């Protein structure tokens, strides 16, 4: 699969960026070039987006030692990791066998992925069809595209050993709205990841970044963030044009906590509303349907961020 679908084309035209997007289309490939394969092999985590058994879209992360992401063929990505049992996408690819023990194969799952290296502000975006492969996943790629470094905060990571942090317990909390602590996590976030899918189910995962405060918590069930200048492809907003379902992952960089949110999103084009937000070219509003917070979900811990120099200011 290559090129743009009708939702992406519609948003490009409305934004007046269809000519730029046409030129950028050459960056969308059906395979992973060698330099990108080397980049992926160095990464300790991968963000994945997809639909659960109920059709809700979620974003999550998979972690492993560098080398857990492999490209055995240009159109294939092997991920030597699976979602944790309490991850919202744990049932994406396998389910219990008839005797309640083990697993059985299910149809390939359409997933979106983004490999990101905060230390160098590089990222690689991919989507395709995934099947279970031993204790991991094998993804046949449909699209791969390298994105620019804008709005990625520089961070460096280290890995903790099991039980290294006293008092750090693996717990799960579900809800249908953000708690006060979760609201504060979003208000102070400088990064989150967003998963979407087209009306055909083709999934995508993307990065959003800015200075703390760029995400507004309007109510415990309603978020808003600015859509800053980018490459003009509108892969995320194009999906939302056809299918409002979306999911967010807000990583706890210092704690390993994963805050997952699923719901629906829409693009706000109102010029007056957009003008009130510095740097915004559009706004996105996200209505929350469900929340899952998993403490100690990741063994990775990250340094304090160095903000990207192109981050727009945040209104007081």
Determine the Cα–Cα distance for residues 209 and 74; give it in Å rounded to an integer. 29
Could you give the C-alpha distances from 101 to 7, 82, 97, 238, in angstroms and in order? 42, 17, 6, 41
Q: What is the pLDDT of residue 28?
A: 94
Domain that holds residue 21: 6-96+103-160+169-302
| Average pLDDT of span 222-243 | 97
Whether residue 35 lies inside any domain: the answer is yes
For residue 55, pLDDT beyond 80? yes
Determine the Cα–Cα distance for residues 137 and 26; give it in Å rounded to an integer. 28
| Average pLDDT of span 146-169 | 84
Computed from CA positions of residues 165, 169, 174, 178, in that sequence, does the dihedral angle turn out positive or negative?
A: negative
What is the CATH number for 179?
2.30.110.10
Domains in the chain: how many in total? 1
> Which structure tokens are listed for 259?
């805050």
Q: What is the dihedral of CA 61, 148, 146, 187, to 10 degrees?
A: 20
- Computed on alpha carbons and rounded to an integer, the radius of gyration of the chain in Å comes to 19
| pLDDT tier for residue 165 given thresholds of 50, 70 and 90 | low
Whether residue 316 lies inside any domain: the answer is no
| pLDDT tier for residue 107 given thresholds of 50, 70 and 90 | confident
Paired with 218 in beta bridges are: none
Residue percentage of the chain with pLDDT more than 90: 88
Q: What is the pLDDT of residue 161?
A: 81
Give which of 261, 308, 316 is closest to 286, Cα–Cα: 261
Whether residue 311 lies inside any domain: the answer is no
For β-strands 76-79 and 69-73, DSSP reports them as: antiparallel
Give which of 115, 104, 111, 116 is closest to 138, Cα–Cα: 111
Whether residue 313 lies inside any domain: the answer is no
């Amino acid at each position: 699969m290559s090129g743009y679908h009708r939702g992406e084309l519609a948003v490009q035209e409305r934004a007046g960026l269809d000519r730029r997007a046409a030129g950028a289309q050459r960056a969308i490939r059906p395979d992973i070039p060698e330099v990108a394969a080397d980049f992926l092999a160095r990464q300790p985590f991968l963000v994945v987006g997809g639909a659960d058994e109920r059709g809700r879209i979620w974003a999550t992360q998979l972690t492993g030692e560098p080398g857990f992401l492999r490209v055995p063929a240009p159109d294939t990505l092997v991920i030597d990791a699976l979602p944790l049992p309490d991850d919202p996408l744990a049932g994406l690819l396998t389910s219990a066998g008839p005797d309640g023990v083990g697993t059985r194969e299910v149809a390939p799952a359409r997933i979106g992925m983004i490999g990101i290296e905060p230390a160098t502000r590089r990222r690689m975006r991919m989507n395709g069809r995934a099947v279970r492969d031993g204790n991991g996943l094998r993804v046949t790629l449909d699209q791969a595209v390298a994105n620019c470094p804008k709005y990625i905060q520089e961070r460096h990571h280290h890995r903790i050993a099991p039980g290294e942090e006293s008092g750090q317990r693996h717990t799960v909390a579900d809800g249908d709205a953000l708690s006060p602590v979760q609201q504060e996590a979003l208000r102070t976030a400088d990064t989150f990841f967003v998963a979407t899918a087209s009306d055909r189910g083709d999934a995508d995962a993307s990065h959003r970044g800015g200075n703390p405060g760029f995400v507004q918590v309007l109510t415990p069930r309603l978020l808003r963030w600015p859509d800053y200048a980018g490459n003009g492809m509108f892969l995320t907003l194009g999906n939302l044009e056809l299918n409002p379902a979306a999911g967010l992952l807000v990583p706890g960089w210092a704690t390993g906590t994963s805050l997952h949110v699923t719901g629906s999103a829409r693009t706000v084009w109102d010029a007056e509303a957009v003008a009130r937000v510095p740097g915004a070219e559009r706004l996105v509003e996200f209505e929350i349907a469900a929340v899952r917070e998993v403490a100690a979900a990741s063994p990775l811990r990250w340094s304090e961020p160095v903000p990207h120099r192109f981050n727009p200011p945040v209104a007081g």
